[in-house]
Structure 1
Amino acid sequence: MKQEFEMNMIGELYYFLSLQVKQTAEGIFISQSKYAKDLVKRFGLDGKSHARTPMSTSVKISSDLAGKSVDPSLYRSMIGSLLYLTASQPDITFSVGVFACFQANPKQSHLTTVKHIIRETNLVIAGYFDANWAGNADDRKSTSGGCFYVGNNLFILL
């Protein structure tokens, strides 16, 4: 690439697009913990108690037509920030997707649950991948697979 483009090496990558990058001999580790903490502060939730799950199992999801309306731009900002956070926290993907559907007419009940998702503290993520390149002796096809653990929750990548 250096032959085609003018390039400068300015040092090791530590932070890029709200992703913290740590390079070690064991591998490259990517985290959004600083982004998640900043998100909690940005929406004024740093003094609130932390949640252990992204969404309460007792929440009844509905459009809540009789509920009190809230500022749609604040709600959209929260949802957009959470959608970006799903890159490193797949455990919140379902909850964020459910409440993203209410962006046109958000109610207080929706905002309360979105704040609950932001306060969710299960930030421990571990990923495991394996591949056997051209491992099949007959057709030389490769087999690969992987999974993520978010806390104690397993996410399998197919």
Structure 2
Amino acid sequence: MVFKTAKHNLTPNVGCDTKPAGTPLAINHGITPDEKGELIDATLYRGMIGSLMYLTASRPDIMFATCLCARYQSKLRVSHLIAVKRILRYLKGTLELGLWYPNDDNFELTAYSDSDYGGCKRDFKSTSAGCQFFGNRLVTWQCKKQTSVSTSTCEAEYIAAASCCSQII
């Protein structure tokens, strides 16, 4: 089902002749509130973001990039559309990826968390991310911009760890 959705969303938005991208975001993505770029149709952009948000339920590899692009829903510029189309080009090259749950007896719970200190250049808020495994199976993941500005890397990491622990409980 998700494979069909990904393929369906790629057809009109990316095109068949477009080269797949190796990563969902460029290394120096520069997704910011672009005040000087050309305005674009909000309906197209929001539809693409909605489809990508649906796909994040089974594709944690696009979660950060999709959430980052979803922050810019007003005053949309061409630079924002290019970033969303890159995610779609990445999906084009990775249609076979998804979640797989093997049948084993490993019931060990493992969790990881991380944050970027002041990653948002507009308001200097950090982004928390985490993932939880039950055995070898990824069962939950999250990526969220923190609600307050951290005063240190340690504080940003503690907020991310607390969010990860609350997900486990």
Which runs of 5 or more residues in structure 1 are unaligned?
A: 1-18, 20-31, 133-143, 149-156
Which runs of 5 or more residues in structure 2 are unaligned?
A: 109-132, 139-166
For residues 106-142 of structure 1, what are the alpha-carbon distances to aligned partners after superposition, in whole Å with 9 as ceiling and x for unaligned? Answer: 100000010010111223234357427xxxxxxxxxx
SS at match of 1:50: coil
How many residues end up aligned between the 2 structures?
Answer: 110
Q: TM-score of the superposition, structure 1-length normalised?
A: 0.61
Contact 1:53 1:122 in 2 (8 A): no
Tell me the distance in 2 between the aligned counterparts of 1:46 and 1:36. Answer: 13
Structure 1 segment 69-84 matched on structure 2, within 5 A: 69-84=39-54
The one-letter code sitting in structure 1 at the alignment partner of 2:32 is S
Larger Rg: 1
Cα offset, 1:87, TM superposition: 1.2
SS at match of 2:69: helix
SS at match of 2:134: strand
Tell me the distance in 2 between the aligned counterparts of 1:111 and 1:103. Answer: 11
Identity %: 36
Aligned match of 2:57 = 87
Cα offset, 1:42, TM superposition: 2.5
Deviates more, 1:33-42 or 1:103-112: 33-42
Give the structure, 1 or 2, with the largest relative contact order (CA under 8 Å, sep 6 or more): 2
Aligned match of 1:97 = 67
2:100 pairs with 122, 127, 133, which one?
A: 127
Q: TM-score of the superposition, structure 2-length normalised?
A: 0.58
After superposition, the Cα gap between the structure-2 partners of 1:88 and 1:73, relative to the gap in structure 1 and judged at 3 Å, is same
1:54 pairs with 5, 24, 40, which one?
A: 24
Contact 1:45 1:119 in 2 (8 A): no
Tell me the distance in 2 between the aligned counterparts of 1:53 and 1:118. Answer: 10
Q: Name the structure with the higher strand share.
A: 1
For residues 33-69 of structure 1, what are the alpha-carbon distances to aligned partners after superposition, in whole Å with 9 as ceiling and x for unaligned? Answer: 2211111103242221111111111211210111111
Tell me the distance in 1 between the aligned counterparts of 2:45 and 2:11. Answer: 16
Aligned match of 2:164 = none
The one-letter code sitting in structure 2 at the alignment partner of 1:61 is I
After superposition, the Cα gap between the structure-2 partners of 1:82 and 1:131, relative to the gap in structure 1 and judged at 3 Å, is same
1:39 pairs with 9, 12, 16, which one?
A: 9
